[in-house]
A and B are shown apart, each in its own frame.
Chain A
């Protein structure tokens, strides 16, 4: 039922990759609907060109479809709804935020990614004030170099910490296996280790991300129950 959206107004930050990683992990244990709101439709193409997953359904919004209606409908049909948005600062991204239970803001840690992550987070905060509810969100570092912690990344971490912005402990490491999911239109579990390196490490990384998302959702659910009880 929770709707998790991936929003970052800049392209190439790893939105679709991290959305697919999470969707594929969750679909191992529950029904998942991905609303592929990116006109390039990377996840829809991934499904149509490959075998997809039985628990994973894709919805592609039409130009005039209301994202609110699509999310509401998907939440009734699936245990998890994941929204992958286009890398632009548009109204659909803004609407998606306000209908989400959790917003993941992917960032590679570069100055440009950080600027656009900040733009998204400022809009989330504006919308929280308007709709009168918290929109939980956190930055997810993506395409992170496994061996080297760059100065840019260190600066990005420092800036986020200074502003009290939540960051996922898990980082999506730059791995051939994640790219290969799209090249071969399959999941990490079905990649061929003779063709792609680092599959096991990618699987561990994907699982850690899913585990952290689930832990955050459970904790939010408990907090909501407690708030209802206190009220």
Chain B
């Protein structure tokens, strides 16, 4: 029972107190209100007048590519991938793509 009433020093009370310390504005607009036409000019110069959404990259569906090779070759491939791209997710994919691009480039 005592435990339930005890103040939790790790709780969110301080955050809630901080949030509650903010209040609605009581007086008028205290920020300089820019002229809308001027904002429009500046925005247009930065390309902010285009209503067309920026397209999201189209994600192509993924399929696995599976085949068996001698263990030593697989190990060497893994080793090279980690050396080039770090011990991260996708290192082997990155190495495969690099090799694939080089192969395609060699055809042209």
Task: Report B13-71 residues with CB < 8 Å from chain A CB.
Answer: 15-20, 22-26, 29, 31-34, 36, 38-40, 42-54, 56-57
Binding-face segment, A136-144, A159-167, A172-180, A211-219: A211-219
From residue A149, how far is it (CB to closest CB) to chain B in Å?
8
A83: B residues at CB distance < 8 A = none
Task: Report A59-85 residues with CB < 8 Å from chain B CB.
Answer: 66, 68, 72, 75-80
Kindly report which residue of chain A lies nearest to residue B17, judged by CB atoms: A29
Kindly report which residue of chain A lies nearest to residue B15, judged by CB atoms: A211
Contact A210 B36 (CB under 8 A): no
B interface vs A, CB < 8 Å? 12, 15-20, 22-26, 29, 31-34, 36, 38-40, 42-54, 56-57, 85-86, 88-90
A168 to B51, CA, bound (A): 29
Interface size on A, residues (CB 8 A): 55
Contacts A77-B24, A132-B32; is A90 near B50 (CB within 8 Å)? Answer: yes
Contact A1 B22 (CB under 8 A): yes
From residue B11, how far is it (CB to closest CB) to chain A in Å?
10
**A-B pairs under 8 A by CB, number:** 131
Task: Report A157-212 residues with CB < 8 Å from chain B CB.
Answer: 207, 210-211
A116 to B36, CA, bound (A): 23
Contacts A79-B24, A94-B39, A94-B40; is A29 near B49 (CB within 8 Å)? Answer: no
A214: B residues at CB distance < 8 A = 15, 18-19
A30 to B24, CA, bound (A): 10
Contact A29 B16 (CB under 8 A): yes
A210 to B15, CA, bound (A): 8
A119: B residues at CB distance < 8 A = 46-48
Kindly report which residue of chain B lies nearest to residue A10, judged by CB atoms: B54
Among A1, A30, A123, A217, contact of B25 (Cβ-Cβ < 8 Å): A1
